[in-house]
Amino acid sequence: MLLEGRRVLVTGAARRVGAALAEALAARGARLALHCHRSKKEAAALGKRLGAVVLSADLADPAQTARLARDAVRVLGGLDVLVNNASVYAKHPFGTATARDFDLQMAVNARAPLLLTQALAPALRKARPGKVVNIADWSGKRPYADYAPYCASKAALLAITQSSAKALAPHILVNAVLPGPVLEPAGGKEAARRWRAAAKATLLGRTGSPADVCAAVLFLLEGSDFITGAAVPVEGGRLAA
Ligand SMILES: NC(=O)c1ccc[n+]([C@@H]2O[C@H](COP(=O)([O-])OP(=O)(O)OC[C@H]3O[C@@H](n4cnc5c(N)ncnc54)[C@H](OP(=O)(O)O)[C@@H]3O)[C@@H](O)[C@H]2O)c1
């Protein structure tokens, strides 16, 4: 599939990796709808620069998620590609995660991608082929001790990727990208220490960058129409280490 003129919805696109994805897709000529939640100013500035539409929604809310799907199809006049990137990442040392913590991460990181894929499937089916890329995490396969809700949500996203790939073949191709450490999260000294440890734990002994995630997403979109149900690691060999 060539991205030139293709209609793409990217969730969590205002900042960080999502903004890098938006830039990379715009550079390939895609017509974008950028989703944001709280980062409305950043999204508006990026949307203006890229000539993209901005749509906001709290993806923890199924009604807002459904509205986002409807609005994306309406403003773009259809949809060819969905990139589920938005995510909540929170540390919960064992014994501290509440039901609310668990439900929020499952809702945003796993339920919303499934609801969006379901709602957008009729539009994506017309794209021949439509494509969905779910941004998961290598830790969905090898969970960290202090991030049970997050890792569980990313494991669920991997299951949703495979289940959707089966349900939607051959008209819509559904894949996941599993980043390792590509962009340091906020969180002070403790986060910085974890970041250095994460770099050391890769086979390559270093962190990656959002550009590495963009390269994998572009490959799944433009490089081949014969890949579906796959989970592409972009983690410096962390899973093999
Ligand atoms: N950074 C890394 O090194 C790394 C490593 C492994 C996997 N990943 C995965 O790669 C993706 C991008 O990473 P990132 O670090 O750029 O992500 P991030 O900054 O943690 O989050 C991306 C966006 O998710 C949106 N979001 C959060 N809660 C939301 C809600 N309730 N409703 C709607 N949107 C919500 C936020 O949008 P607003 O700002 O508009 O509120 C946020 O900007 C994520 O899926 C992440 O899990 C990243």
Domain boundaries, the chain: 7-235
pLDDT grade, residue 173 (50/70/90)?
very high
**Any idea how long the chain is?**
241
pLDDT grade, residue 226 (50/70/90)?
very high
Determine the Cα–Cα distance for residues 160 and 240; give it in Å rounded to an integer: 23
Q: Is the pLDDT of residue 191 over 90?
A: no
pLDDT at 187: 83
The CB of 87 under 6 Å from ligand 1? The reply is yes
| Atom of ligand 1 lying closest to residue 12 CA | 23
Active-site amino acid positions: 150, 154
**What is the CATH code of the structural domain delimited by 7-235?**
3.40.50.720
Q: Is the pLDDT of residue 98 over 90?
A: yes
Region 177-191 average pLDDT = 93
Region 64-90 average pLDDT = 98
Q: Is the pLDDT of residue 180 over 90?
A: yes
Region 155-182 average pLDDT = 98
| Atom of ligand 1 lying closest to residue 58 CA | 32
Determine the Cα–Cα distance for residues 72 and 59; give it in Å rounded to an integer: 14
Q: What is the mean pLDDT of the chain?
A: 97
The CB of 91 under 6 Å from ligand 1? The reply is no
pLDDT at 188: 86
| Atom of ligand 1 lying closest to residue 59 CA | 32
The CB of 59 under 6 Å from ligand 1? The reply is yes
| % of residues, the chain, pLDDT over 70 | 100
DSSP annotation of 91: -
Q: Mind listing the pLDDT tens digit for each residue in 4-44? A: 999 999 999 999 999 999 999 999 999 999 999 999 999 99
The CB of 157 under 6 Å from ligand 1? The reply is no
SS3 content of the chain, % helix, strand, coil (to 5): 50, 15, 35
